[in-house]
Amino acid sequence: MKTALITGITGQDGSYLAEFLIGKGYRVIGLTRRSSTTVTSRISHLLEKIELVPGDLLDQSSLMDVLSSYNPDEVYNLAAQSFVQTSWNQPVLTAEFTAVGVTRLLEAVRRCAPKARFYQASSSEMFGKVQAVPQIESTPFYPRSPYGVAKLYGHWITVNYRESFNMHATSGILFNHESPRRGLEFVTRKISYHVAMIKHGRTNELRLGNLDARRDWGFAGDYVEAMYLMLQQDRPDDYVIATNETHSVREFVELAFARADLDWQKYVKLDDKFNRPAEVDLLIGDPARAKKDLGWVPKTDFKSLVNMMVDADLNLVASEPHPHAHP
């Protein structure tokens, strides 16, 4: 039985990856940080099948203890301050978690479990002000947010540890991926949740920022398989994971409201509060290397993703006695 350590197991991707690895027969260890409230809602159905251990990307000794105790075969570093907008309000904290945290974990692996294979959750935000269309592994980076800058550090330190110490360290450059488990602050889930709230008569507006931004949106459940496949390769490398399609926020809005038979123009209001100091206007990735080396292709198309999220939120809101706070 192989052992995998997942940081960020309480997040969207961590929950799907844990499910996937359990299905492959892995012993799954999840790193969780201390919190005053329960943050395991996304993995509540898995709690009997995984082991949670305390630790924090800000704390070197906690990481070394976990790596020494469990000596995992594979380490998936999914933990991060992952919301781009917050990175302008908390740039130093974002750097500590999302950038230097990667070095802390790599050091813990190098010193305490040097045979472990390492996956770093890199991001299409590193392409930022894109220098080529579509973006591939060799496209030059131009991050546009403190988050993007921090992820770029995490990417390069992963490459550096691979080259310096011959570690099996891989950087997965994942484009936006969504699901019904997406945090409510991200634009896709904000839209699907508000569509459901409007449909059920619990609110009558959705305030958004830039509707013209374009993203390459896939389904998180498809993308965690790519993470696993990367660590099964004999030779570590970097991989773009994307759908090779781009859609605007406006298109997402149109499809989501249509799914619930609502006219979006009656409810969507523009609000400057949600505009960013520097925007990423267009992302579209070409996952040709992943297809060739990993045999990976996305399974869920854009419309199916939107429908899946709206349908899930319609059910959620129908069953909710007390509505969630709006982001």
Interaction site with ligand NAP (CB under 6 A): 7-8, 10-14, 31, 33, 35, 39, 56-58, 78-82, 97, 121, 123, 174, 176-177, 183
Pick what 12 binds: ligand G4F, ligand NAP, none; C-beta below 5 to 8 Å, kind-dependent. Answer: ligand NAP
Q: CB–CB of 287/134 below 8 Å? A: no
Tokens of 257: 């409201």
Rounded distance between C-alpha atoms, residue 327 and residue 227, angstroms: 29
Is 123 marked active-site? yes
Q: CB–CB of 238/280 below 8 Å? A: no
Tokens of 165: 């110490």
Q: CB–CB of 327/190 below 8 Å? A: yes
The smaller minimum CB distance to ligand G4F, of residues 82 and 179, is found at 82
Query: In angstroms, what CA-CA distances link 189 with 90, 177, 265, 292?
Result: 22, 11, 18, 32
Count other C-beta atoms under 10 Å from residue 35's C-beta.
9
Under rule CB under 6 A, which residues in 141-180 are in contact with ligand G4F?
175-176
DSSP alpha helix (H) spans, 241-284: 249-259
Contacts of 175 (CB under 8 A, 6+ apart): 124, 215, 216, 217, 218, 240, 241, 242, 243, 283, 284, 285
The smaller minimum CB distance to ligand NAP, of residues 181 and 199, is found at 181
Pick what 121 binds: ligand G4F, ligand NAP, none; C-beta below 5 to 8 Å, kind-dependent. Answer: ligand NAP
Is 125 marked active-site? yes
CB of 122 to ligand NAP, least distance (A): 7
What letter would DSSP give residue 101? H
Under rule CB under 6 A, which residues in 252-281 are in contact with ligand G4F?
274, 276, 279-280
Give the total of residues touching ligand G4F (CB under 6 A): 24
CB of 164 to ligand G4F, least distance (A): 25
CB of 199 to ligand NAP, least distance (A): 25
Q: Give the residue among 206, 218, 208 at the shortest CA–CA distance from 262.
A: 206
CB of 125 to ligand NAP, least distance (A): 7
- Kindly tell me which residue out of 46, 187, 240, 314 binds ligand G4F, with binding defined by CB under 6 A: 187
Q: Active site residue: 15, 62, 87, 123, which one?
A: 123
The smaller minimum CB distance to ligand G4F, of residues 10 and 85, is found at 85
Pick what 91 binds: ligand NAP, ligand G4F, none; C-beta below 5 to 8 Å, kind-dependent. Answer: none
The answer to the question of residue 286 lying near ligand G4F (CB under 6 A) is: no
Dihedral, CA of residue 314, residue 320, residue 323 and residue 326, to nearest 10: -40
Pick what 7 binds: ligand NAP, ligand G4F, none; C-beta below 5 to 8 Å, kind-dependent. Answer: ligand NAP
Catalytic residue ranges: 123, 125, 147
